Chains A and B, each alone.
Chain A
């Protein structure tokens, strides 16, 4: 069968699995999987852009996704009363000052002659004094902002704009961070780049967890506005209730499903547009040049192609897509919980998606995203069922049995690991191979 037919069948198979879950468990669960699966597909797409097009290993996925989530907070949540007056502007001034200090240090580093103590002394002086002044300006402002209604707020709040706007803003924020990081780190060798991006993601998450004035840190933001109606609002709308009763559906359950369907529609629209853009870019002259660079960097450089700036472009684009995914995820969950950003769940799982789906191929990334997310969720109920079956022979109330049943939830990483190892061994090009 032709490649196209096989790909269609693969997507149909995944769809079939989801439908099966709808029947055997609940449509609510199935749709939840669909929504998060669509978001995962976008994340996988973002990772695929930098790896598949340019061979760049971005293991900092988590950081860029988190920045997208931050964007929803900064754009869509209402501003905190009096926060800006109390210290907001001062905080911004301090940050700008900090950036200037770093820029001054960087330019000093380049201007002064190498070696000798003069350059190191000057740098040390600039950084130490700059740091001290920065803290002097920042600390009281931060304290002031965090003192405002700390139980519920204690942060600057956002701009109060529509939440859908935060999605492209999330992309821009992540792209900006990606540009900074790419400019400094893309010169590194590939596995050093991987470790560096991992580290930077950890730094981003640490900042999000600790700078309460920005996003309440680990106290979390739990009231991010939505682009779709609340279930409660649907249930209290007479038109909705009568329509649902008319087709024989329970309004309560139906409201949940409808909301999820609306989200799914939004996410699907974003995914399809991104996919279309990526495919168009891949087949454009720009895309062909990117692939030429990926396949033989030395030759491309010898032909005068500016490899570094191309790599930077691709890296930034990949980060932008990750940012959009992060914003979508925060919108879906309605909250930003920095503590939930675990490397295992984000960075590594997304890489499994790309490897399984097929690196270098956008459709593969999407397929991998949805399929692996589906498996990640389903391994828990399946694992529980399997463990219950396996321990059915044991005595009821035996501690070993209880322990094994409890730990069924931990089977997820185990199964993911085995899948990853098997795929890399027997089908390293993924389900839908790249070009």
Chain B
């Protein structure tokens, strides 16, 4: 009995949050890694792109809610997603046209593009704050739980309980769908393969007749869509505050780099590695150990590796360690 309780506690406080957060990071990292693989620079505006996309979706959600449209047990934001994605895609394509395109005709250092993306980041950050303000926004509606902790306890009779939130199921389901689709797109379609070719060897791709502007446009579209989706899922799960999204940039980059920057499979793996590291290292194992260990060995304190405040630092430490010992990442991304 104790073992099952331990398992349930572990699942509730580590496994479920880890999977959910990992999915959100995976989606975010996918967007960043695609841009790095094709456009060959780290887009520091990605976190604020997530914020922009979420903001657009929230506005559309409010519009739908005002019209009385809902999605039953599922969050209305899912209906608003296409509008949010469209707005973000248009904005991102505009920034490419106005800002980044001139740098493609002249060969520039990738770090110059990083600086430029800092400028874009500032602009997006300011816009989001101006349009929607800096306060916390909750925009999840519909059923909150698929089953509550009390229901679980009633079914299983265990002391420890597991609650499954709708947003968690939605996150994982959408992530699986999107990652699956992206994999199919990159591996099986002509356009997807042309993008992989472009990422692999730009000159040869041009020689083969692949249109660079088309590839670039598709990358921006995909990146914006993924960023919006990741941002909306994160915001549904927790809440939306522009500042938090800027902070998400760092774990997202960590996830992409850890998995192998430029490698989409790596981005997904990296997302989970970072998420689980954060949750694992800062989780208080007192409860779990309490169920597993005999009474004499019970931990006194919270049995945490690091306090919860250090969550932010964990993804960095993992990132720095990976960069020092295995710079190409888990799945060998681009090295140059």
B133 at the interface (CB under 8 A from A): yes
- By CB atoms of chain A within 10 A, which of B133, B310, B320 has the most? B320
A340 at the interface (CB under 8 A from B): no
Q: Which residue of B lies closest to A57 (CB)?
A: B111
B317 at the interface (CB under 8 A from A): yes
Asked if A428 and B122 make an inter-chain contact with CB atoms under 8 angstroms apart, the answer reads: no
Task: Identify A344's interface contact among B41, B125, B307, B319, CB under 8 A.
Answer: B125
Asked if B313 and A203 make an inter-chain contact with CB atoms under 8 angstroms apart, the answer reads: yes
Chain-A contact segment, one of B157-165, B222-230, B246-254, B285-293: B246-254
> Shortest distance in angstroms between B137's beta carbon and chain A's nearest beta carbon?
14
Asked if B130 and A417 make an inter-chain contact with CB atoms under 8 angstroms apart, the answer reads: no
Cα distance A412–B123 in the bound complex, in angstroms? 9
Asked if A192 and B323 make an inter-chain contact with CB atoms under 8 angstroms apart, the answer reads: yes
A210 at the interface (CB under 8 A from B): yes
Which B residues touch A189, using CB under 8 A? 327, 335
A414 at the interface (CB under 8 A from B): yes
Which A residues touch B119, using CB under 8 A? 416-421, 424
Asked if A413 and B324 make an inter-chain contact with CB atoms under 8 angstroms apart, the answer reads: no
Asked if B309 and A414 make an inter-chain contact with CB atoms under 8 angstroms apart, the answer reads: no
Cα distance A414–B319 in the bound complex, in angstroms? 30
Given known A411-B126, A424-B112, A425-B102, contact A210–B327 (CB-CB < 8 A):
no
Asked if A344 and B246 make an inter-chain contact with CB atoms under 8 angstroms apart, the answer reads: yes
Q: Which residue of B lies closest to A411 (CB)?
A: B126
Interfacial residues of chain A within 149-198, with CB under 8 A of chain B in the complex: 184-185, 188-192, 194-196, 198
Interfacial residues of chain B within 110-135, with CB under 8 A of chain A in the complex: 110-112, 114-116, 118-127, 129-131, 133-134
Task: Identify B316's interface contact among A184, A200, A404, A424, CB under 8 A.
Answer: A200
> Shortest distance in angstroms between A411's beta carbon and chain B's nearest beta carbon?
6
Which B residues touch A195, using CB under 8 A? 42, 253-254, 257, 319, 323
Given known A209-B309, A351-B115, contact A420–B319 (CB-CB < 8 A):
no
Which B residues touch A131, using CB under 8 A? 305
> Shortest distance in angstroms between B54's beta carbon and chain A's nearest beta carbon?
17
Given known A57-B111, A425-B102, contact A206–B125 (CB-CB < 8 A):
no
Given known A414-B123, A418-B123, contact A199–B133 (CB-CB < 8 A):
no
> Shortest distance in angstroms between A190's beta carbon and chain B's nearest beta carbon?
6
Asked if B312 and A410 make an inter-chain contact with CB atoms under 8 angstroms apart, the answer reads: no
Given known A191-B41, A403-B133, contact A203–B118 (CB-CB < 8 A):
no
Which A residues touch B41, using CB under 8 A? 191
Which A residues touch B99, using CB under 8 A? 421, 425
Q: Which residue of A lies closest to B99 (CB)?
A: A421
Chain A window 378-420, contacts with chain B (Cβ cutoff 8 Å), 1 for yes, 0 for no: 0000000000000000000000000110110011111111111
Which B residues touch A203, using CB under 8 A? 313, 316-317
B72 at the interface (CB under 8 A from A): no
Interfacial residues of chain B within 227-286, with CB under 8 A of chain A in the complex: 246, 250, 253-254, 257
A202 at the interface (CB under 8 A from B): yes
Given known A200-B316, A210-B309, A424-B116, contact A188–B122 (CB-CB < 8 A):
no
> Shortest distance in angstroms between B18's beta carbon and chain A's nearest beta carbon?
20
Q: Which residue of A lies closest to B125 (CB)?
A: A413
User: B-side binding surface: helix, strand, loop or mixed?
Assistant: helix
> Shortest distance in angstroms between B220's beta carbon and chain A's nearest beta carbon?
17
Given known A417-B119, A421-B116, contact A410–B316 (CB-CB < 8 A):
no
B301 at the interface (CB under 8 A from A): yes
Which B residues touch A194, using CB under 8 A? 42, 111, 114
Asked if A348 and B323 make an inter-chain contact with CB atoms under 8 angstroms apart, the answer reads: no
> Shortest distance in angstroms between A39's beta carbon and chain B's nearest beta carbon?
21
Task: Identify B312's interface contact among A202, A348, A412, CB under 8 A.
Answer: A202
Which A residues touch B111, using CB under 8 A? 57, 190-191, 194
A45 at the interface (CB under 8 A from B): no
Asked if A185 and B323 make an inter-chain contact with CB atoms under 8 angstroms apart, the answer reads: yes
Asked if A428 and B129 make an inter-chain contact with CB atoms under 8 angstroms apart, the answer reads: no
Asked if A417 and B123 make an inter-chain contact with CB atoms under 8 angstroms apart, the answer reads: yes
Task: Identify A421's interface contact among B110, B123, B307, B310, CB under 8 A.
Answer: B123
Cα distance A108–B148 in the bound complex, in angstroms? 49
Cα distance A93–B177 in the bound complex, in angstroms? 52
> Shortest distance in angstroms between A42's beta carbon and chain B's nearest beta carbon?
21
Asked if B133 and A407 make an inter-chain contact with CB atoms under 8 angstroms apart, the answer reads: yes
> Shortest distance in angstroms between A54's beta carbon and chain B's nearest beta carbon?
13
Q: Which residue of A lies closest to B301 (CB)?
A: A139
> Shortest distance in angstroms between A180's beta carbon and chain B's nearest beta carbon?
12
> Shortest distance in angstroms between A81's beta carbon and chain B's nearest beta carbon?
27
- By CB atoms of chain A within 10 A, which of B119, B312, B335 has the most? B119
- By CB atoms of chain B within 10 A, which of A185, A198, A424 has the most? A424
A49 at the interface (CB under 8 A from B): no
Asked if A199 and B126 make an inter-chain contact with CB atoms under 8 angstroms apart, the answer reads: no
A355 at the interface (CB under 8 A from B): yes
Asked if B313 and A206 make an inter-chain contact with CB atoms under 8 angstroms apart, the answer reads: yes
Chain B window 55-90, contacts with chain A (Cβ cutoff 8 Å), 1 for yes, 0 for no: 000000000000000000000000000000000000
The list of the 8 closest CB pairs from A to B, nearest first, reads A417-B122, A414-B126, A199-B316, A417-B123, A420-B119, A410-B129, A421-B119, A413-B126
> Assuming A195-B253, A403-B133, A417-B123, what are 8 further A-B pairs, CB within 8 angstroms?
A200-B320, A348-B118, A348-B122, A352-B118, A414-B125, A417-B118, A417-B124, A421-B116
**Contacts A/B (CB < 8 Å), 26 sampled:** A185-B323, A189-B335, A190-B110, A192-B327, A194-B42, A199-B254, A199-B319, A203-B313, A203-B316, A206-B313, A210-B307, A210-B310, A344-B122, A344-B246, A403-B133, A407-B130, A411-B130, A413-B126, A413-B129, A414-B123, A414-B126, A415-B126, A417-B121, A421-B99, A421-B116, A425-B116
Listed in ascending order, the chain B residues whose CB lies under 8 Å from chain A are 41-42, 99, 102, 110-112, 114-116, 118-127, 129-131, 133-134, 246, 250, 253-254, 257, 301, 305, 307, 309-310, 312-313, 315-317, 319-320, 323-324, 327, 335
Listed in ascending order, the chain A residues whose CB lies under 8 Å from chain B are 57, 131, 139, 184-185, 188-192, 194-196, 198-200, 202-203, 206-207, 209-210, 343-344, 348, 351-352, 355, 403-404, 406-407, 410-421, 424-425, 428
